[in-house]
């Protein structure tokens, strides 16, 4: 993003140039007067303020990774368990190579419609109905894999490992792995074990729960590099969601 400022060497007749698609990296403007700068800001303000239009209902911790610059332009991205595409709006708008899988046919149809609206050049076949533990992609295919609120639906520890290993298989060396998943961190005394790594949470739901020991052990087995420390949000002791960010 270039600094917006009046340019002394620009002719008074030089008009404002601007081309902006929702990606601040593409912002390139020149102004010849304070008035044109004021008008540009006036016109841009409603676009910037409409964050939902730009980012959709993106997970706030995935948004944090965007702000940290971890998603470079033109990266190939797989959303493993994409649902209707809530985390893909920004990537579709800004020219990323976007793929997604979900086991729900209605969700796949929804994300295909979303892609058709935001990025017509993206093939509908980029979004497939598939189980996360057995995806139809070649190994080391993607620069980044997103797993948002998916792994905690594992039936047991074996299923959890199957999903995780498959996501790791399709991730390129030095690729980004981002996961948000339910955990017992901070509510250990409030969850009730059901067997197989699944627990009954205070909010009444049943989930496969991880803890720091499990996440650390699995990351070590994968040979992963930690990009972030484990971060956990406690929702009034009803459930906890942990953010897990690794590099392959």
Per-residue pLDDT at 13 exceeds 50 = no
Residues 123 and 243 in one domain: yes
pLDDT value for 120: 96
Alpha-carbon 75 to chain mean position: 12
Domain range for 179: 54-247
Share the mean pLDDT of the chain: 87
Sign of the four-CA dihedral 170, 176, 178, 184: positive
- The HSE-up count of residue 205 (CA atoms within 13 Å, CB side) is 12
Residues 37 and 107 in one domain: no
Residue keyed to tokens 């702000």? 67
Which is higher by pLDDT, 50 or 168?
Answer: 168
CA distances from 243 to 31, 48, 223 (A): 42, 27, 18
Instruction: Identify the H or E element spanning 36.
Output: helix 34-49
Residues 139 and 243 in one domain: yes
Per-residue pLDDT at 130 exceeds 60 = yes
Residues 30 and 119 in one domain: no
Residues 39 and 63 in one domain: no
pLDDT (tens digit per residue) in 135-154: 999 999 999 999 999 999 99
21: confidence class by pLDDT, cuts 50, 70, 90? very low
5: confidence class by pLDDT, cuts 50, 70, 90? very low
Residues 201 and 221 in one domain: yes
User: By mean pLDDT, which of 40-44, 65-69, 81-85 is the weakest?
Assistant: 40-44
**Dist. CA 18–CA 40, nearest whole Å:** 9
50: confidence class by pLDDT, cuts 50, 70, 90? confident
Instruction: Identify the H or E element spanning 159.
Output: helix 157-169
Tokens of 175: 């690729």
Total domains in the chain come to 2
pLDDT (tens digit per residue) in 29-45: 454 556 666 666 666 55
pLDDT value for 8: 40
Per-residue pLDDT at 97 exceeds 70 = yes
Residues 3 and 116 in one domain: no
Q: Is 228 exposed, middle or buried (0-12, 13-18, 19+ CB in 10 A)?
A: middle
**Dist. CA 173–CA 175, nearest whole Å:** 5
What is the three-state SS of 83-99? CCCCCCHHHHHCCCEEE
pLDDT value for 39: 66
Residues 71 and 193 in one domain: yes
User: By mean pLDDT, which of 10-24, 26-40, 173-187 is the weakest?
Assistant: 10-24
Q: Is 173 exposed, middle or buried (0-12, 13-18, 19+ CB in 10 A)?
A: exposed
Residues 42 and 122 in one domain: no
pLDDT (tens digit per residue) in 222-233: 999 999 999 999
pLDDT value for 51: 80
């Amino acid at each position: 993003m270039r600094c917006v400022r009046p340019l002394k060497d620009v002719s008074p007749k030089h008009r404002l140039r601007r081309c902006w698609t929702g990606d601040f990296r593409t912002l390139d403007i020149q102004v010849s007067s304070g008035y044109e700068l004021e008008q540009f800001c006036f016109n841009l303000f409603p676009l910037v303020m409409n964050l939902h239009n730009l980012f959709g209902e993106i997970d706030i911790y995935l948004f944090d990774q965007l702000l940290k610059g971890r998603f470079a332009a033109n990266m190939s991205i797989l959303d493993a368990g994409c649902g209707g595409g809530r985390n893909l709006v920004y990537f579709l708008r800004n020219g990323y190579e976007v793929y997604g899988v979900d086991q729900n046919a209605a969700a796949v149809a929804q994300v295909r419609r979303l892609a058709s609206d935001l990025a017509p050049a993206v093939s509908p076949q980029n979004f497939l109905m598939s189980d996360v533990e057995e995806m139809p992609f070649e190994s080391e295919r993607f620069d980044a894999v997103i797993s948002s609120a998916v792994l905690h639906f594992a039936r047991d520890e074996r299923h959890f490992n199957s999903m995780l290993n498959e996501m790791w298989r399709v991730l390129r060396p030095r690729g980004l792995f981002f996961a948000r998943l339910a955990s017992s961190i901070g509510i250990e005394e409030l969850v009730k074990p059901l067997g197989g790594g699944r627990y009954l949470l205070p909010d009444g739901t049943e989930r496969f729960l991880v803890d720091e020991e499990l996440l650390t052990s699995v990351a070590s087995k994968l040979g992963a590099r930690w990009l972030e420390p484990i971060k956990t949000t406690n929702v009034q002791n009803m459930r906890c969601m942990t953010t897990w960010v690794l590099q392959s």
